[in-house]
């Protein structure tokens, strides 16, 4: 009698437990995986959808074989999205439900694309296209690619002496190649910068003086320069003061007198140890720009030029 009384509540409890713990949907093949996704999509669109039950029916992962390949697909994202819809407030529920349905639709679409049969006419058409002369080199390496591959293999072999891990050796080889390329690029950029910023030298004609510069005292040259400066003939002032510097240096024995030398030839003749060499290089550059380049200097520039010439005379 007691057993009969207990049997009824036990049966009800077992039935209730069975109803709350809905079994997971089968997912041991591509077809079952697609069917599971389709059932989730259909159930989620019902007005009285129970997302707790839907989540219980979705397995955490699906494992199956297809066309000789093993597939292991995690459903953690689906579980998270289903739980999110269940716990969402009314204002967020619509967006979260739409995100869940997009995920399911994307997975179904991926399955259908994977299972779509290959058009048997594709491969012959591809071979016919590649047979065209425009694609004659497709499928074969160029000589440049072969050389690059050989160099990379050589570098990897060298770095493998230091790094035992092949991946590390390949990484070091790539760093070496890119470092070399960066150095070459930096060298070329430096050359380009110097070429762009360096003033092109003026083609200096040979100025024939009927006598050696030292035949006229450097002081006489300077007097002529000051007179030209006073009258506003700044180019002539630079011209005369330059030859005053040459006359002083020549008289001091810096070189053998010659009445037909260019400013650059005087620079080549003067000793590197001569304390006036740097000043001579500076005034020679300005003199070429003013006299041969026909540039008229300002009065302040002219006065500064004469001051540097006088500094040479004081050395």
Task: Name the token pair of 181.
Answer: 């390329």
CA dihedral 26, 27, 30, 31 (to 10 degrees): 20
Q: Which residue has the tokens 């026909």?
A: 294
Residue with more model confidence, 273 or 68: 273
Backbone angles phi, psi at 275, to 5 degrees: -65, -15
Contact call for residues 81 and 96 (beta carbons, < 8 A)? yes
Q: Which of 8-17, 133-142, 179-188 has the lowest mean pLDDT?
A: 8-17
| Bridge partner list, 65 | 70
pLDDT category at 19 given cuts 50, 70, 90 is very low
- The Cα–Cα gap between 108 and 37 comes to 7
Contact call for residues 235 and 291 (beta carbons, < 8 A)? yes
Q: What is the pTM of this model?
A: 0.38
- The Cα–Cα gap between 60 and 57 comes to 9
Render pLDDT for 178-226 as a digit per residue (tens, 0 to 9): 898 999 999 999 988 887 776 555 555 666 576 778 788 889 999 999 9
Contact call for residues 237 and 306 (beta carbons, < 8 A)? yes
- The Cα–Cα gap between 24 and 37 comes to 12
- The Cα–Cα gap between 44 and 97 comes to 8
- The Cα–Cα gap between 235 and 292 comes to 10
Is pLDDT at 113 greater than 50 in this prediction?
yes
Q: Which of 6-10, 115-119, 258-262 has the lowest mean pLDDT?
A: 6-10
- The Cα–Cα gap between 287 and 242 comes to 7
Average pLDDT, the chain: 80
């Amino acid at each position: 009698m007691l057993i009969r009384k207990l049997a009824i509540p036990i049966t009800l409890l077992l039935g209730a437990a069975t109803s709350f713990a809905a079994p997971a949907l089968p997912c041991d093949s591509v077809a079952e995986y697609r069917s599971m996704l389709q059932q989730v999509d259909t159930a989620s669109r019902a007005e009285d959808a129970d997302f707790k039950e839907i989540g219980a029916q979705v397995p955490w992962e699906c494992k199956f074989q297809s066309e000789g390949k093993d597939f292991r697909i995690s459903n953690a994202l689906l579980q998270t999205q289903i739980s999110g819809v269940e716990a969402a407030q009314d204002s967020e529920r619509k967006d979260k439900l739409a995100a869940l349905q997009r995920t399911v639709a994307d997975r179904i679409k991926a399955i259908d694309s994977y299972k779509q049969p290959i058009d048997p006419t594709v491969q012959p058409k591809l071979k016919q296209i590649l047979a065209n002369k425009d694609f004659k080199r497709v499928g074969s390496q160029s000589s440049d690619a072969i050389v690059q591959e050989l160099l990379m293999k050589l570098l990897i072999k060298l770095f493998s002496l230091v790094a035992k891990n092949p991946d590390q050796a390949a990484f070091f080889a790539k760093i070496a190649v890119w470092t070399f390329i960066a150095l070459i690029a930096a060298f070329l950029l430096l050359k380009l910068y110097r070429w762009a910023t360096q003033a092109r030298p003026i083609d200096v004609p040979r100025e024939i003086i009927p006598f050696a510069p030292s035949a006229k005292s450097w002081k006489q040259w300077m007097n002529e320069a000051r007179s030209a400066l006073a009258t506003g003939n700044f180019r002539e002032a630079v011209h005369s003061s330059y030859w005053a510097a040459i006359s002083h240096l020549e008289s001091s024995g810096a070189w053998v007198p010659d009445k037909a030398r260019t400013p650059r030839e005087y620079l080549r003749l003067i000793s590197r140890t001569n304390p006036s060499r740097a000043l001579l290089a500076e005034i020679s550059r300005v003199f070429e720009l003013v006299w041969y380049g026909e540039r008229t200097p300002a009065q302040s520039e002219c006065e500064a030029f004469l001051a540097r010439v006088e500094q040479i005379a004081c050395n």
